[in-house]
Amino acid sequence: MLDGQLRVAKAYQSAIDKHVRLMARKLPWLSCINAKIVPDELIFAQLDAEKEYQYAAIDEILEVSGIARVKHELLSRLCFQQGSFHHTEVRVLPFSVADVTRAIQNCLAQRKSTEQHRCRKLIRFYNHFKAVTVDKVQVPGACPVEVTARLLQWCVVQPERTVVTWSGFFEYDGSRYVRLFEKIWVSIEPIRLKQNSTFSGQYGSILRIVVHLTPVESEFELDDIEEMSEVVIASYHRNSEMIYQALLAQLAP
């Protein structure tokens, strides 16, 4: 029985990885000689066209990633397999689902521009936003890398949870010019908090997060993959801290 479940999980994972890679390959700006001059509107149009497909896949994604029923904090190591970077995370926060959702929706609006980060464009709608950000990320043993991202975030409130999806197109100039296609799925549910190993009367939120990043180019050297890993980790940690700071800011008296 276990072998059968593993085969099914691997089949699902293979299908998802194939979908993400095909999506990255069919992006219309790939035919351009210089991807840096592609209009933001063209990129956002493609991200917008795919957001409902990404949202519809969340249950399958959580199941395949093995965190659909995890009820404690969990942090996986970023891994590179089948041509994509993968990361899963489960976090328990002492804030309500509504507060966490609002912080995620407002994370870029509340973040101040600095030498290390600036939001070049932010277009907000009722339940989603489009943004262009530029971050300087420090890679160990190298000069700071400038990462430009075109992002689309979509939030859907369901009866028992809130689903937030991110999709984006990242570019950076390191040892070589690299483009990454990102998809993030976030499920936010209420959870009863524990105090001294017993359940208290307070509720917080449990976040189940799955991250997929696929290089647009398919041929890389080992050094390129290691550098991309460092950039991905640094960017993800910075974004996580940004959301947590937004939570603290909006809940401050």
pTM: 0.82
- b vs e for 52-84, b when ≥16 Cβ sit within 10 Å of the residue's Cβ? eebeebbeebbebbebeeeeeeeebebebeeeb
- pLDDT-derived band of residue 33, with 50, 70 and 90 as boundaries? very low
Q: How far is C-alpha 193 from the geometric centre of its chain's CA atoms?
A: 26
Domain range for 50? 2-251
How do residues 125-147 score in pLDDT, each as one tens digit?
888 999 998 888 777 666 777 88
Q: What is the count of structural domains for the chain?
A: 1
Could you tell me the CATH number of the domain that includes residue 204? 3.30.530
How do residues 192-220 score in pLDDT, each as one tens digit?
887 766 666 788 999 999 988 888 766 66
